[in-house]
């Protein structure tokens, strides 16, 4: 069959680890490589990857990744990518730029939809339009509307990378990588440094595509239950159009050097921040030896992956910093490398951190590792490999990226897939001698190819970069003749005209799409059986789980006084990381990883359908194999009934880690915090979640650190009271997802477990959510903004109808994308409607604007209520909404989703009603939703997080915000 389509079979094998047959092909005419994975996975995945080594820091690979998805020969619309987002059942649709490759993956459970996506992506990468206007929009351009105004830089990638360069963690990872690879493309930033992005010319951009986007430089991947014949047809129709081309895109190996050196870099910080970060970074071997690769993954987990890990514990216990820093083991490049250290370090402690890392590693080699720690790490990695649970990420995409880790560099794509024999050899070596101690000595202590990176706070850096950009633009403008200024004004006008001009109906008709009739009319149901065991509600979801038990044990936190809410995430960590009366935290956390696939704590709060009060829980979520089920239940018993809370230093470490983690997440996740802050004003559930994971939680953590140091007895009393209020039969709920035969065989284990808890009657606390300041602006040391706005439709007499979900999607992929991302230059913009609370939330991401973005948010209602809204566009929005509702889930996620629906009283009848309303949405429904939005906008609330200068400028121009405060 393959010869008919011009492919020759290179290798074929069964890969039992992923229950697949794998076939490796070569396209004879062009040399394109094709890996075909055949199995029963309905979530089909396709990806095409090009090796794209950068030669500078202009971000050309990244800009091209964006740009090829902006129209092609066969699909001549402005944004085929967005058209697919609007009207596809896709379970993944994106593109990614790595330091040495650019990947274009898609996934869908629907066969027709899947091949629609494949065809659009193949045409995009091989035959993109990539005009000057597209380059200007996605990369960078000068913006000028009249000769008297200042020249500005604008562009989506330009602002995306301004956001990336505002994140200290991102800079730490980037600088660590660059420091270890002085002789390869890994010494450059393929994403683009904002200072250098404007150096890229359109000609260089076009040449990069010509050089690298060719079948001779392509690695193509299919995975899933579709027929191989369809794969060949889809590929040959494109590949056969090309002649072979000699392309040198090889990634050179980095020769090991006697490199030992210290590097100092700066990151943006506030006036009050005087804490630095330090990592030590080691170059490791190439990824090609599967045994070395897997051994180092296990070693990484041994050293820093657990609270009991010796290097992690030494660093955290030292008190020299606030939390671990560094990426740990980096596995996505040709070479592995390792990076670890501390963040939140004062300048006088930097040398001590470096000394501590080496002294700890030497001590491990000299004294040996605990057998329990080794066993815990091996079990954790092995469980993850066998379970192959990739969460919301398609499993096929994870397999593709694993294959590329070796395949891209001329090695077999199967090296890291077939882990069983490799794992067996590693286990044998562990039994015979000190394997990991030898690896530490070889790759860390004796390895001279290493760097020490210090990232220091600079309160003036953002201002310096802003002034540097202003000066550069001023010089550019002064160097331009009147004719050249007129040309830039004309180019600005032409770009804006292109951006606002609608695609023709003929062009839009080229995009392949499903029809409403192609959609399933019925909801996807998840089996649920309910029992009451010893007075405790137990939910069972009989699903195929490959022999795994997923066990969620809930504690009803609505029994707590509201003043204790912000303690809940910390109490969750304390359950698993403080230890018990009979076992210290080192032994406990090691035991968890030896006997389970992991246990973690997760707070949850959600409004209940039709009710004012919310349901609020702290879940312990664990997974294990049947032979270890009793041991996992014993762990649950021990941490709940015998929890030892009186360990001030360990609890302080947990609080410090939480604080440091949140502070570092503010810049990369600013949109999430802004959305939480807004929603907290309207419902008890969102108010509770904001106090357990938002800005209020961060402020509480800072307060709590002082209390731990100065009023520990009171903190301890609070923790003990929380324990008393939550750990009894009246507070418990059990949710189990497993196979029917396993539940029947092991149900007695759960009966025995649930008899152990005391019986108490404690009624729910009455929470009275305090009001947050109406409108607010939070200052961050960042070059970008996160702008948010919310309105409450229920307060304006809107009654929920499923069509509102269609309208929300229509706004997200229409108005917000076009006005805020395409024209405004922000990296993204989102909106969501919570049908339980009636709150409509708008947020932007890595946004150079403030007032313009708020004005677009205000146009949302009018956009829906007055636009003609063509039937075809409504159909697309319906299809995309159904795709969201039917997102692919693994068994554990299905069981937890069913649990949430149970708690919020969203039964299958309610779900089917919503689905029917979505499927029947018409123009009048969307216009009605738009009118409700328009009516509510006068009562909008605003929350903004971002750049101080931009916020001050917006305030001068009329932004109505009284509460302005700094977060860092």
Active site residues: 65, 138
What is the C-alpha R_g of the chain?
28
Q: Residue 212: left (phi > 0), alpha (psi -120 to 50), or beta?
A: alpha
Residue 526: closest CA among 547, 550, 554, 553:
550
What residues contact residue 757 under an 8 Å CB cut-off, 6+ apart? 536, 640, 641, 727, 728, 729, 732
- With beta carbons less than 8 A apart as the criterion, state whether 802 and 523 touch: no
Strand, coil or helix: 6: coil
Tokens, residue 820? 């805020």
Backbone φ and ψ of 736, nearest 5°: -125, 125
Burial-class residue 923 by CB neighbours within 10 Å (0-12, 13-18, 19+). middle
- Let me know how many helices (H) and strands (E) the chain has, helices first: 36, 29
- With beta carbons less than 8 A apart as the criterion, state whether 312 and 324 touch: yes
Whole-angstrom distance, CA of residue 768 vs CA of residue 682: 12
List the end-to-end C-alpha distance of the chain, in Å, as a whole number. Answer: 62
Place of tokens 């731990």: 708
- With beta carbons less than 8 A apart as the criterion, state whether 14 and 33 touch: no
Strand, coil or helix: 459: coil
Whole-angstrom distance, CA of residue 232 vs CA of residue 118: 12
Whole-angstrom distance, CA of residue 230 vs CA of residue 1: 11
Whole-angstrom distance, CA of residue 870 vs CA of residue 798: 24
* Alpha carbon separation from 581 to 637, 956, 967 (Å, rounded): 12, 59, 39
Place of tokens 């991401």: 845
Sheet holding 536-542, edge to edge: 529-533, 536-542, 732-738, 549-556, 614-624, 599-607
Whole-angstrom distance, CA of residue 941 vs CA of residue 775: 6
- With beta carbons less than 8 A apart as the criterion, state whether 582 and 655 touch: no
Whole-angstrom distance, CA of residue 873 vs CA of residue 876: 5
Residue 727: closest CA among 614, 630, 641:
641
Identify the sign of the CA torsion 816, 817, 818, 819: positive
- With beta carbons less than 8 A apart as the criterion, state whether 45 and 90 touch: no
* 3-state secondary structure labels for all residues of 682-728: CCHHHHHHHHHHCHHHHHHHHHHHHHHHHCHHHHHHHHHHHHHHHCC
Whole-angstrom distance, CA of residue 652 vs CA of residue 710: 12
Strand, coil or helix: 651: helix
The DSSP secondary-structure symbol of 332 reads S
* Alpha carbon separation from 526 to 388, 411, 522, 711, 892 (Å, rounded): 21, 42, 13, 48, 11
- With beta carbons less than 8 A apart as the criterion, state whether 440 and 361 touch: yes
Please, what is the angle between helix 695-710 and helix 670-679, to 10°? 90
Strand, coil or helix: 36: strand
What residues contact residue 839 under an 8 Å CB cut-off, 6+ apart? 678, 679, 682, 683, 686, 790, 791, 792, 793, 833
């Amino acid at each position: 069959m393959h010869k008919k389509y011009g492919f020759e079979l290179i290798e074929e094998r069964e890969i039992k680890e992923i229950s697949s047959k794998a076939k490796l092909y070569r396209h004879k005419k062009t040399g394109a490589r094709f890996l075909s994975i055949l199995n029963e996975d309905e979530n089909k995945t396709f990806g095409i990857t090009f090796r794209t080594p950068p030669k500078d820091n202009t971000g050309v690979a990244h800009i091209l990744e964006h740009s090829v998805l902006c129209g092609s020969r066969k699909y001549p619309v402005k944004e085929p990518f967005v058209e697919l987002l609007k009207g596809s059942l896709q379970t993944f649709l994106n593109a990614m730029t790595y330091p040495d490759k650019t990947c274009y993956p898609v996934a869908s459970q629907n066969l027709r939809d899947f091949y629609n996506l494949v065809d659009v992506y193949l045409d995009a990468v091989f035959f993109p339009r990539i005009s000057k206007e597209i380059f200007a929009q996605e990369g960078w351009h000068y913006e000028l509307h009249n000769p008297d105004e200042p020249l500005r830089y604008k562009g989506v990638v330009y602002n995306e990378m301004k956001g990336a360069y505002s994140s200290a963690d991102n800079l730490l990872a980037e600088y660590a990588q660059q420091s270890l690879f002085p002789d390869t493309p890994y010494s450059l930033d393929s994403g683009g440094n904002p200072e250098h992005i404007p150096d890229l010319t359109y000609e260089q951009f076009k040449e990069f595509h010509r050089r690298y986007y060719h079948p001779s430089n392509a690695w193509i991947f299919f995975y899933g239950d579709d027929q191989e014949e369809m794969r060949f047809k889809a590929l040959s129709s494109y590949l056969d159009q090309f002649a072979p081309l000699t392309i040198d895109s090889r990634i050179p190996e980095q020769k090991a050097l006697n490199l030992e050196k210290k590097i100092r870099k700066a990151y943006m910080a506030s006036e009050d921040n005087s804490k630095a970060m330090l990592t030590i970074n080691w170059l490791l071997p190439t990824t090609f030896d599967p045994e070395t690769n897997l051994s180092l993954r296990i070693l990484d987990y041994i050293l820093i992956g657990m609270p009991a890990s010796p290097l992690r514990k030494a660093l955290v216990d030292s008190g020299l910093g606030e939390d671990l820093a560094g990426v740990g083991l980096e596995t996505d490049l040709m070479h592995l490398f390792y990076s670890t250290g501390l963040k939140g370090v004062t300048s006088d402690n930097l040398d001590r951190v470096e000394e501590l890392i080496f002294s700890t590693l030497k001590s491990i080699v000299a004294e040996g590792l605990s057998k329990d720690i080794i066993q815990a790490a091996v079990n954790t990695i092995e469980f993850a490999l066998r379970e192959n649970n990739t969460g919301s990420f398609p499993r096929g995409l994870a397999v593709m990226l694993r294959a590329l880790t070796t395949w891209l560099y001329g090695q077999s794509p199967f090296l890291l897939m077939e882990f069983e024999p490799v794992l067996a050899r590693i286990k044998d070596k562990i039994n015979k001698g000190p394997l990991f101690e030898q690896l530490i000595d070889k790759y860390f202590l004796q390895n001279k190819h290493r760097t020490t990176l210090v990232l220091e706070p600079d309160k003036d850096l953002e201002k310096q970069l802003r002034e540097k950009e202003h000066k550069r633009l001023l010089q550019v403008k002064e160097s331009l003749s009147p004719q050249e200024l007129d040309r830039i004004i004309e180019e600005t006008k032409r770009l804006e005209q292109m951006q606002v001009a609608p695609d023709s109906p003929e062009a839009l008709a080229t995009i392949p799409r499903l029809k409403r009739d192609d959609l399933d009319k019925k909801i996807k149901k998840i089996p649920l059986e309910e029992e009451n065991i010893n007075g405790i509600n137990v939910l069972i979801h009989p699903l195929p789980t490959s022999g795994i038990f997923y066990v969620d044990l809930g504690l009803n936190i609505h029994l707590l006084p509201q003043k204790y809410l912000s303690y809940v995430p910390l109490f969750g960590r304390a359950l698993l990381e403080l230890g018990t009366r009979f076992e210290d935290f080192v032994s406990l956390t090691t035991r968890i990883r030896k006997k389970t696939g992991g246990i973690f704590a997760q707070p949850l709060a959600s409004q209940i359908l039709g009710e004012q009060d919310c349901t609020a829980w702290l879940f312990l979520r664990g997974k294990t194999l049947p032979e270890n089920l009793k041991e996992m239940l014993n762990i649950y018993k021990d941490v709940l009934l015998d929890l030892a809370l009186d360990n001030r230093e360990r609890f302080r470490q947990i609080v410090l880690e939480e604080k440091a983690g949140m502070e570092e997440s503010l810049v990369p996740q600013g949109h999430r915090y802004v959305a939480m802050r807004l929603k907290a004003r309207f419902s008890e559930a969102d108010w509770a979640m904001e106090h357990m994971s938002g800005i209020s939680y961060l402020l509480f953590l800072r307060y709590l650190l002082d209390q731990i140091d100065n009023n520990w007895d009171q903190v301890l009393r609070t923790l003990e009271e929380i324990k008393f209020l939550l750990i009894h039969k009246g507070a418990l709920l059990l949710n189990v997802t497993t196979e029917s035969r396993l539940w029947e065989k092991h149900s007695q284990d759960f009966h025995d477990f649930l008899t152990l808890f005391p019986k108490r009657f404690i009624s729910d606390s009455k929470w009275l959510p305090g009001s947050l300041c109406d409108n607010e602006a939070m200052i961050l040391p960042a070059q970008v903004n996160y702008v948010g706005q919310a309105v409450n439709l229920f307060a304006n007499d809107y009654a929920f109808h499923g069509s509102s979900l269609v309208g929300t999607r229509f706004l997200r992929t229409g108005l917000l994308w076009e006005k805020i991302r395409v024209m405004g230059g922000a990296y993204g913009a989102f909106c969501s409607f919570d049908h339980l609370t009636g709150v409509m939330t708008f947020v932007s991401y890595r946004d150079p604007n403030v007032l313009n973005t708020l004005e677009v948010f205000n146009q949302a209602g009018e956009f829906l209520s007055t636009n003609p809204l063509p039937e075809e566009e409504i159909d697309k929005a319906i299809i995309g909404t159904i795709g969201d509702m039917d997102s692919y889930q693994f068994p554990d996620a299905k069981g937890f989703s069913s649990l949430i629906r149970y708690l919020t009283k969203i039964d299958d009848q309610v779900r089917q009603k919503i689905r029917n309303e979505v499927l029947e949405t018409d123009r009048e429904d969307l216009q009605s939703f738009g009118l409700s939005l328009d009516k509510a906008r006068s009562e909008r609330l605003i929350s903004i997080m971002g750049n101080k200068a931009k916020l001050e400028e917006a305030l001068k121009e009329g932004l109505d915000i009284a509460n302005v405060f700094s977060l860092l």
